A and B are shown apart, each in its own frame.
Chain A
Amino acid sequence: MEKKTTPIAKVDDLVIHYETRDGVVEAVNGVSFEILPADTFGLVGETGAGKTTIALAMMGLLPYPPTHIIRGKVEIDGEDIAKKSKNDMRAIRGKKVSMIFQDPMTALNPVVGIGDQIAEVILLHERCTKEEAQKKALDMLQMVGIRPERYKDYPHQLSGGMKQRVVIAIALACNPELLIADEPTTALDVTIQAQVLDMIKDLRDRFGTALMLITHDLGIVADICNKCAVVYAGEIVEIGTVEDIFDRPQHPYTLGLFASIPSLDKDVERLQPVKGQIIDPTDLPPYCSFCDRCDRCTEQCRAADPKLVEVSPGHFVKCIFARKEAD
């Protein structure tokens, strides 16, 4: 096991609800995890599982209203962010924790030059003059592989992949301790996905930044993460090291996700999807929320909501069928 250090980010029993016209959306229901300085933590789940909500909560960027943090807390560097003032939070965002958003097409301000958008975050967090910030922004541009003469270009003059590079440059400009990447490659072309991912990996290693990667692509998780959590209906159903999850998965949902991945060496007619639809988050049952889609579901599953069970050190599964690993 790696040596214990204080976590950069700790999410503790977080419960978040949205109030909508159709009722209360229970987006996040008691999620806990922590990210250590050397971690690359993958958060995997279907669309609507609550992954982005968790990330926004960690940034203190949940839109309020309609979001309400019902219970639990987020700690950054050991301090509860709910107790921070607005100014203190601004000092954390972009400096200690920064975020790459899903859609690079809309994440940049269309009327501000890309270089100045990078310089903006530097100017906010570092004691420097405008010229120094612009110079550093120029360096960041080159670091993400964009030629310096494009400093004055506007977002519409860039391709999708280049825009995402700019977003990454903004996120890394102040050398954050934790980088949250919310599906950084989903909106991109497959060939560009690999480039962007390699770049994130490379920069993570160079800056020594902890990374939280939100994705629904298990391949990406296997590629760059050391820990990961599988999220279903706002709950972590399985969490552990990448080896735990990929080599010894136990939760039926995790197993279902693996079964739905196409394999190179097997020739199958149809892929095996996880059957059914993701459960309606305005109407969660008091028992295991995966019941309706689970092949192994029994009477006992519908009796009570299972707890996370530690099946081996650091590997937790939220299922009544979870068994201690033999070794």
Chain B
Amino acid sequence: MLRYILKRLLWLIPVMVGVITIVFAITVLTPGDPAASLLDRNATQEQIDEVHHRLGLDKPVLERWFNYVVGVFTRFDFGTSYTTMQPVRDEVLAKLPYTLILAVVSVSLAVLIGIPLGVWSALKQYTITDGSVLFLSVLFVSMPNFWLSMLLISLLSVSLGLLPSFFVNGDWTGWIMPIVVATIGSMAQFIRITRSSMLEVMRQDYIRTARAKGQKEDVIVMHHMMRNAMIPVATSIGSGLGNALGGNMTVEIVFSLPGIGSYIVNAISTRNYPGMLGGILVTAIMFTVVNLLVDIAYVIIDPRLKSQITGKKASKRKLNQMLREQGVTV
């Protein structure tokens, strides 16, 4: 298991190099010049060259790419922001807590509400309960985040004046609307996946076996159905969390929450390439780690996957042990 985790973490290196390469390619291929956004429109060519020299943009792309990769892996250096001249690493780390809080709280809430609703809806299939839960989840899934945010702002901030329309540090009420919006989208996703997965499991023969044992219906649901139904749900939670960690950009921007999402968007619009690269890299790292956690959760839920992960060594050990029991010397 530990070997597997280490192996998966080592995969982070090629993933990061790949991300850096792609983002570098994009910065080269897209028109626009960082110097232009730092200087005013009447800047002379000399001034532009001077900025280029200061930012290191006068060096060849391959050299910049190589230096950046070396910097990331040897000094954990994500470059220097073009706009603030601060280390990108420090800036991103300062933004990270906001994104983390938003992602973790909203996904947890979505799990806590969405999974029970999905189970309930599946158990009451074809009833009004099922229909209305399904209707709400379809509605929420198809509602874009930014639109829901604006609806909430116009209702709760503008009309009723209950909640602030944007986030200010130190005022916890600013968290409420971003979290609600981020929760609703992923919750709807979890409801739908849980429901369909439960419906699938409910029809299985082993559920009938459990009933034939005389097992109580609530134990059948909790013990026999849920564990099997959670396998696809775990995937969905993983990707939901991954998306929330990197991609709650619209929510962060609408509510001016200073997280990584809005940091990346700002970096893009000011052609702050190192900022953009740093933000995306951190997102990619988190995404990989979350995926690893999901895969570990799989093994806990589904014993069929264990042999795949504990690997060949363990099965060889088992085989040797079996042979010894049979009296065969190995």
Contact = CB atoms under 8 A, between A and B. Distances in A.
A90 interface: yes
A121 B213 contact: yes
Contact of A91 (B204, B214, B224): B214
Contacts of A1: none
Interface of B: 204-206, 208-217, 223-224, 227-228, 301-304
B215 A107 contact: no
B136 to A, nearest CB: 25
Given A61-B208, A111-B301, A170 B213 contact: yes
B207 to A, nearest CB: 8
A201 interface: no
A-B pairs, top 5 by smallest CB distance, nearest first, are A94-B214, A93-B214, A106-B205, A121-B213, A94-B213
A51 to B, nearest CB: 16
A92 interface: yes
A185 to B, nearest CB: 16
A208 B216 CA distance: 28
Interface in A37-92: 59, 61, 86, 89-92
Contacts of B304: 110-111, 154, 156
A113 B302 CA distance: 11
B318 to A, nearest CB: 10
Contacts of A302: none
A204 to B, nearest CB: 18
Given A120-B210, A170-B213, 14 more contacts: A61-B211, A92-B214, A93-B211, A98-B212, A101-B208, A107-B205, A109-B210, A109-B228, A110-B228, A110-B303, A112-B227, A113-B303, A124-B215, A167-B209
Report which residue of B212, B217, B224, B303 has the largest number of chain A beta carbons within 10 angstroms of its beta carbon: B212
Interface string A153-180: 0101000000000010011000000000
Contacts of B208: 61, 101, 107
Nearest to B300: A111
B214 A108 contact: no
Contacts of B213: 93-94, 98, 120-121, 124, 170
Report which residue of B211, B216, B223, B228 has the largest number of chain A beta carbons within 10 angstroms of its beta carbon: B211
Given A109-B228, A111-B302, A93 B206 contact: no
B196 to A, nearest CB: 18
